[in-house]
Copies of this chain bind each other. A is one copy, B any other.
Amino acid sequence: MGKNTKEAIIAASISLFNTNGFHGTSVRDIASKAKVNPANIAYYFNNKHGLLEYCLTIFFERYVAEIEEGYERIEQGATICLKTIARNILFFQYENIHLTRMILREITIDSQVVREIMSTYLMKERFYLNRVFERGMQTKEFRHVTPDYMTLQLKGLLNMPFLNSHYMSEVLHVHPNERYFAEKYLKEVDRWIDGVLCRNEYEPAYLAVN
């Protein structure tokens, strides 16, 4: 029962934050949508900020775990390792599409809680990605690149469809909540890794076909 209440509060807040923004949503709105007493929200999360902090933390704990799991493949080569990390992030975001959109928007606002997230989780992400880029350049799998600029590009690619899901469906008629999209987009990300990062001698066969 307690677990269901907590889950209902989280689901309602994600939905409302995505429609009205964090500041445009009140604890009363969340309680009403989740069909719970506002006192439950205070009990579990203290207040609206506590709820956002909770969402940020569960999101980035799992996000970094996905990166770490991919990073374990580093000994198999930088390309395969980076593709695994990208795949893990892409599917994690796809499987948590509403939470992802809310989180990706909220971290664009400068606040204390966002700065804490950056100095922990996003610094860890940078650390792992830098290691992969450095390794790839060392083994000559990758061209000479500036790791931080590659991190920036990769994150742009992975975030764009989930942050802009309305744009995707309204303008491009592409639906990021469909498995088909995730599979196809993963191929695009792989092509980015092959085309932008990898040296030509490693060019995979499917590019030569076109």
Which residues does A use to contact B, with CB under 8 Å?
Answer: 18-25, 101, 104-105, 107-110, 114-115, 118-119, 122-123, 126, 143-144, 146, 148-149, 151-153, 155-157, 159-161, 163-164, 166-168, 170-174, 184-185, 188, 191-192, 195-196, 199-200, 203, 207-208, 210
Query: Once the chains bind, are A188 and B153 in contact (CB under 8 Å)?
Result: yes
Q: A175 to chain B: closest CB distance in Å?
A: 12
Query: Once the chains bind, are A164 and B107 in contact (CB under 8 Å)?
Result: yes
Residues on B with beta carbons closer than 8 Å to the beta carbon of A148: 172-174
Query: Once the chains bind, are A172 and B192 in contact (CB under 8 Å)?
Result: no
Query: This chain: how many copies in the complex?
Result: 2
> In the complex, what distance in Å separates the CA atom of A19 from the CA atom of B173?
32
> In the complex, what distance in Å separates the CA atom of A191 from the CA atom of B203?
16
Query: Once the chains bind, are A152 and B170 in contact (CB under 8 Å)?
Result: no
Residues on B with beta carbons closer than 8 Å to the beta carbon of A22: 21, 23-24
18 contacts between A and B (CB under 8 A): A18-B109, A20-B23, A22-B23, A24-B24, A107-B164, A115-B166, A118-B171, A143-B210, A148-B172, A149-B174, A151-B172, A152-B160, A152-B185, A153-B188, A156-B160, A156-B161, A200-B200, A200-B207
Query: Once the chains bind, are B126 and A171 in contact (CB under 8 Å)?
Result: yes
Query: Once the chains bind, are B188 and A108 in contact (CB under 8 Å)?
Result: no
CB-contact partner of A192 in B105, B115, B126, B153, under 8 A: B153
Known: A156-B160, A191-B196. A109 touches B171 (CB 8 A): no
Given contacts A23-B24, A152-B172, A200-B203, 4 further A-B contacts (CB under 8 A): A105-B105, A110-B166, A144-B210, A200-B208
